[in-house]
Amino acid sequence: MTVSPLSGAAGTGISRRARITAVTSGKGGVGKTFVAANLAAALASQGQRVLVLDADLGLANLDVVLNLPPKVTLHDVFTGKHPIDAAIVPAPGGFSVLLAGSGMVEYSRLTPEVREQLQQVIADVAPRYDHVLLDTGAGISDVVLYTVSLADDVMVVVTPEPTSLTDAYATIKVLATLQQRRAVQLVVNQTRRAGEGRAVQHQLQQVIDRYVNPGLDKAVRLELLGELPVDPSVRDAIVKRELLIEWLPGAPASVAMRALAARKIDA
């Protein structure tokens, strides 16, 4: 297990703090924010206390997906203008959010201040929740990599397209070599047939076994946390600014999201 700098009760069997999960991806636009928001609602409906932090600091849009205009943002917390409690707001799905607000361009670069502040905010909220989801940007910028380094678990969202697979592979390789990550939770989004998620996991694992694992002390393992079908109602929900699992609980992607949440609780 990768021990994050925030690990307190980790490994003791006593759950005194949230499990911190970074939701990330190699390629952009694969569905991280959709997954983070709807997984949070699915976890909440299964009795979990959940907070989603919009860690896509430069290009935040969790507020748009949740239809929550940001009043107090992470920026206000970082600058000391407001206490953290003022920035935590309830979201429609029964979970809490910390919004970044848009145009926080100063956070597109990782400065020592941003490092310290982000770590502090996560440390402050962790004791109050069962799960904290960090909705990151795509790729391997230093801001994304640093955010992922603060998490206990890394969830990589990937679609079956070759470009997404290539970028997911690159991300996983970097996380394995720079952060000694050995377990990756895989979410295959926008699948077109049952079992496609398993096929994607096998394909990625094979490439990792061939090109990454031989140089490592311990092998990187991908765990398929779930697959979510391509579903036109995902886009409809975003346009209506509703959470899919609340608006259309019977939609194929909603059903799959609840199964994903159940596996996340057990993971």
Ligand X SMILES: Nc1ncnc2c1ncn2[C@@H]1O[C@H](COP(=O)(O)OP(=O)(O)OP(=O)(O)O)[C@@H](O)[C@H]1O
Q: Which residues bind ligand X (CB under 6 A)?
A: 25, 28-34, 56, 137-138, 189-190, 228, 230-231, 234-235, 238, 253
Residue 54 CB, nearest approach to Mg ion (Å): 8
Residue 258 CB, nearest approach to Mg ion (Å): 21
How big is the site for Mg ion, counted in residues (CB under 5 A)? 2
* CA distance linking residue 35 with residue 134, whole number of Å: 11
Cβ distance to ligand X smaller for residue 90 or 232: 232
Cβ distance to ligand X smaller for residue 221 or 235: 235
Residue 210 CB, nearest approach to ligand X (Å): 27
Q: Is 261 exposed, middle or buried (0-12, 13-18, 19+ CB in 10 A)?
A: buried
Copy the structure tokens of residue 79.
């600058």
Q: Is 32 in the site for Mg ion (CB under 5 A)?
A: yes
Q: Is 27 in the site for Mg ion (CB under 5 A)?
A: no
Residue 90 CB, nearest approach to ligand X (Å): 21
* CA distance linking residue 253 with residue 217, whole number of Å: 38
Q: Is 33 in the site for Mg ion (CB under 5 A)?
A: yes
* CA distance linking residue 43 with residue 155, whole number of Å: 15
Point out which span in 32-40, 116-124, 175-183, 205-213 binds Mg ion (CB under 5 A): 32-40
Burial 128-146 (b: 16+ CB within 10 A, else e): ebbbbbbbbbbbbeebbbb
Which has the closest alpha carbon to 231: 211, 208, 249? Answer: 249
Residues that bind Mg ion (CB under 5 A): 32-33
